Amino acid sequence: MLKILLCFGTRPEAIKMAPLFHELKKEKGFEVVVCVTAQHREMLDQVLDFFEIMPDFDLDIMQPNQTLNKLSATILNKIDEVLEIVQPDLVLVHGDTTTSSMVALAAFHLGIKVGHVEAGLRSYNKQAPFPEEINRQFTSKLADFHFSPTVGATQNLLNEGVLRDDIQETGNTVIDALLWTIEKISKEGFLHPEIASLKKTLPKDKKVILVTGHRRENYGIGFINVCNALLTIATRDDVCVVYPVHLNPNVQDVVNERLAHQDNIYLIPPVSYPAFVWLMQQSFLILTDSGGIQEEAPTLGKPVLVTRTVSERPEGVAAGFSKIVGINQNEIENSICSLLDDFVVFDDNINPYGDGTASLQIVNFLVNNYR
């Protein structure tokens, strides 16, 4: 019996690990234990509830205005006790969070194998995304098994000296989660209060621009420029801007000050994952600094404008699904207008980030290589 500990702490991690959890649970030879650090608390709990996951351990580390150093130290300290109790054969972490890198380090210190889901993404700019780029590279140095989502991610790992036998290219588990969610919310009789409320609130005769933003490197002038661009775009009669505003005060203060009570702009609290998937389905285009949305949107046929200067997800850009617009106000405005006026549909809707079988491929790798 292989004992596997899944550890994650943020909403995006939970979304991407949820389908893997359920796929692992199907395998009789695995004992699956879940630990959440709750690096995001409320947003994490919504995902756990929707995907029907009950954690075995909850470190509950979220504190107001917590520094990265304090967060890292707390995770490293608290996960140590969990690892001693569980004594897993393998720890699975995801992506680029502080939770992932600190849990991987703690497992390494105890001689426990580490599997890294969504491995190999790189911007090679340690300030963008910050601190995620270094978290991801650091985790790669500690991992024993690397589950890469794309050809490019695999090549990055090979370039850095990771052995080919330790890499399994699977696609991204977020596509598994997206397809699972679409199926669930599309079922007749499925009721969701947030979706019902949004249906009543949003106009049905306008092109929806869905906006998200949370990156640390965009705090300050970055969010100011994005808001100013949205103010200009919202003067068009054919659009409405829907912006679920991140809970971080560095985001909320700027967005609420500049965009509250403006025509054609709907500022709403962060929504649950199923409600956000529904919003993506309704949108005409998406303006975001999120990595996960860059991966999900091609499956839905939605163009994405990325408010970052560099992305560790170049496949979507290369395939024409997304465009990097940075935080220049004029570039954001011009790119939005170009899509509003000219975009019809993508010629090729094959998502470069996966086909919805990533979790199954990871489980098959573990069955065949780790017994």
pLDDT in tens, 19-32: 999 999 999 999 99
The answer on pLDDT for 42 being more than 90 is no
d(CA 202, CA 220): 29
Give the chain's mean pLDDT: 95
Per the residue annotation, which of 192, 216, 236, 258 is the catalytic one? 216
- Greater confidence, 63 or 295? 295
Q: What is the DSSP letter of 357?
A: -
Per the document, the length of the chain is: 371
The answer on pLDDT for 216 being more than 90 is no
**Is the peptide bond preceding residue 131 cis, with omega within 30 degrees of 0?**
yes
Whether residue 132 lies in the annotated active site = yes
Residue 82 lies in a domain: yes
In sequence order, what are the residues at sequence separation of 6 or more whose Cβ sits closer than 8 angstroms to the Cβ of residue 38? 9, 44, 58, 59, 60, 61, 62
Residue 188 lies in a domain: no
Structure tokens at 106: 């703690």
Residue 92 lies in a domain: yes
Domain count, the chain: 2
d(CA 121, CA 101): 14
The answer on pLDDT for 352 being more than 70 is yes
Q: Identify the three-state secondary structure at position 5.
A: strand
The answer on pLDDT for 64 being more than 90 is no
- 238, 160: one domain: no
- 312, 280: one domain: yes
Per the residue annotation, which of 11, 40, 116, 246 is the catalytic one? 246
Domain boundaries, position 239: 193-342
- 162, 217: one domain: no
d(CA 366, CA 357): 15
How far is CA 164 from its chain centroid?
Answer: 26
- 240, 336: one domain: yes
Per the residue annotation, which of 132, 289, 296, 312 is the catalytic one? 132
- 329, 213: one domain: yes
Residue 216 lies in a domain: yes
- 213, 93: one domain: no
**Which CATH number does the domain housing residue 99 bear?**
3.40.50.2000
The answer on pLDDT for 153 being more than 70 is yes
| 284 band by pLDDT with thresholds 50, 70 and 90 | very high
Structure tokens at 291: 């990595």
Alpha-helical regions (H) of the chain: 11-25, 42-50, 68-86, 98-109, 132-142, 151-159, 173-186, 193-201, 221-233, 249-259, 273-282, 291-300, 314-318, 329-342, 358-369
pLDDT at 330: 97
The 3 state secondary structure assigned to 27-57 is CCCEEEEEEECCCCCHHHHHHHHHCCCCCCE
- 27, 66: one domain: yes
Whether residue 96 lies in the annotated active site = yes
The answer on pLDDT for 370 being more than 80 is no
The tens digit of pLDDT for each residue in 314-328 reads 999 999 999 999 999
Is 14 buried (19+), middle (13-18) or exposed (0-12) by CB count in 10 A?
Answer: buried
Residue 121 lies in a domain: yes
pLDDT at 191: 86
The answer on pLDDT for 119 being more than 80 is yes
Residue labelled with tokens 């775009």: 233
**Mean local confidence (pLDDT), 125-146:** 96
Residue 7 lies in a domain: yes
CB 300 within 8 Å of CB 322: no
The answer on pLDDT for 167 being more than 90 is yes
Whether residue 214 lies in the annotated active site = yes
pTM over 0.75: yes
Per the residue annotation, which of 118, 133, 289, 315 is the catalytic one? 118
- 78, 26: one domain: yes
- 32, 130: one domain: yes
Residue 180 lies in a domain: no
Per the residue annotation, which of 96, 133, 217, 315 is the catalytic one? 96
The answer on pLDDT for 371 being more than 90 is no
- 238, 293: one domain: yes
Residue labelled with tokens 């389905």: 281
- 141, 219: one domain: no
Q: Could you tell me the CA-to-CA distances from 275 to 148, 191, 227, 272, 343 in Å, in that order?
A: 28, 11, 23, 5, 25
**Mean local confidence (pLDDT), 106-111:** 98
d(CA 42, CA 45): 5
Residue 76 lies in a domain: yes
d(CA 298, CA 321): 6
- 326, 239: one domain: yes
Whether residue 246 lies in the annotated active site = yes
